[in-house]
Amino acid sequence: MKAAKLLRNYAAPTPDMLFERAMKDEQKYPELAIGSEIVPIFNPNVRVAAEGDRETLYDNSGDAYGVKQLYVAESDFGIDYMNALYSPLDGPRHDFYIDIDTPVATGIHGLNDEVAARLLREVGVPVLLKGPEFSGGKQTGLRGLGRVALASSNVSQSFSAETSMAITEKILALNPHVPSTAAVYGKSRGAMIGGKKYPYAHDAGINVVHYRLIDPCVGKRALEGVGDIMRYGAWPASDLLRSVPSFARFALEGNLRARARTVETSSAYLAGMVLGTVPSLLSGEAMGNRIPVHKGVSLVHMASNPIADTAEYLEQFKQHLHFDHHEIPDTHIGGIVLPRNIARSVRHFKEFGAEFDRAAGDEHLINWDKVHNNPNKLDTTQTYAA
């Protein structure tokens, strides 16, 4: 029994266990729900530098529509990150930008790059895409991997969210054309981290108005019993198998060689993912209580994802005034790569942009029903739509 408890504490540590390893302070945010207004502060000292030349982006007709700049970031925790800023040539169409963190096992290349460029092209706003821990491309031998292992133990979802917004703050300071109002967009890991960003964005002078969160999985601590362990253990293989039709479309509808780069393969990243990222994602760190109740939240779940704690997330968001939930009949990995689901999010941000402009940028005047555009909406706490 004791051995099982120790193993669970290692594989799925509680949020408090993770906070204690790297937390330097805590801060109160009165606008958050009572009982959750105290937020851990990690104060990562982040250094950011441009990487390579700015790349001009062209559409299928050969017309230039934007530029892309890579930025490498490193924190005093010894963790590096690769990031990309996508900027329109003629200034933003709307006065906000889209802030994205990537799903687990993926970086800023391949499909994530495609989606960010498409959002820039079709929505007309800057897009900031931030890669995961240890994606900056440092060369690592055995000693380097040892340092990765030590640094990985500091990772919690809040730590990732605070570091993400610290990187954003530095990149925005170098790019004054990027608005300081944000719409957060994330899939899987990116959704789980995205839901923790508000307090750290607030401290960086960034106002997160809206959240588009695609299939966050773990809403409560995982591995609570033998059945739960078996469910999680079988999930990667079963989800991959059931996602084969989606992968076929993924391969046929784009440049497969470029899309193959979606997956991070460096030894440093893989070590950090196993030792740091995955345990933090299994911790059950709450998300809904990190978002003020007046913010617009669009939550999308894949119906064929057995490790998605949908009921837990609906409970977390039941007090939110402008919350909408869609459930889509797809697997987790297959669902987040399918072109039709990506197109849904592009349309969603277009709706948000139009309504944001109509409200003259005042989030309190936004008609969130128009943004969510959910014809099957039942109420503000639980909605199912194909």
pLDDT value at position 376?
59
CB 296 within 8 A of CB 368: yes
The domain that holds 224 is classified in CATH as: 3.40.50.1820
377 in a domain, yes or no?
Answer: no
Residues 6+ apart with CB under 8 A from 81: 72, 73, 74, 75, 130, 131, 132, 133, 134, 135, 136, 163, 167
381 in a domain, yes or no?
Answer: no
351 in a domain, yes or no?
Answer: yes
378 in a domain, yes or no?
Answer: no
Structure-token pair, residue 316: 């977390």
Highest average pLDDT, of 50-59, 140-149, 328-337, comes from 50-59
Could you report the per-residue pLDDT of 314-341, keeping only the tens digit for each? 999 999 999 999 999 999 998 898 888 9
252 in a domain, yes or no?
Answer: yes
251 in a domain, yes or no?
Answer: yes
Could you report the per-residue pLDDT of 337-386, keeping only the tens digit for each? 888 899 999 999 999 999 999 999 999 999 999 999 876 554 444 333 32
354 in a domain, yes or no?
Answer: yes
Question: Which residues share a beta bridge with 282?
Answer: none
Lowest-confidence segment of 16-30, 86-100, 217-231, 296-310 by average pLDDT: 217-231
Q: Taking the CB of residue 265, how many other CB atoms lie within 10 A of it?
A: 10
CB 11 within 8 A of CB 282: yes
86 in a domain, yes or no?
Answer: yes
Could you report the per-residue pLDDT of 177-196, keeping only the tens digit for each? 999 999 999 999 999 999 99
Half-sphere exposure of 314 (CA within 13 A, CB side): 15
Structural domains of the chain, count: 1
Closest CA to 341 of 273, 280, 253, 265: 253
pTM of structure: 0.94
Q: By residue range, what is the domain housing residue 106?
A: 2-372
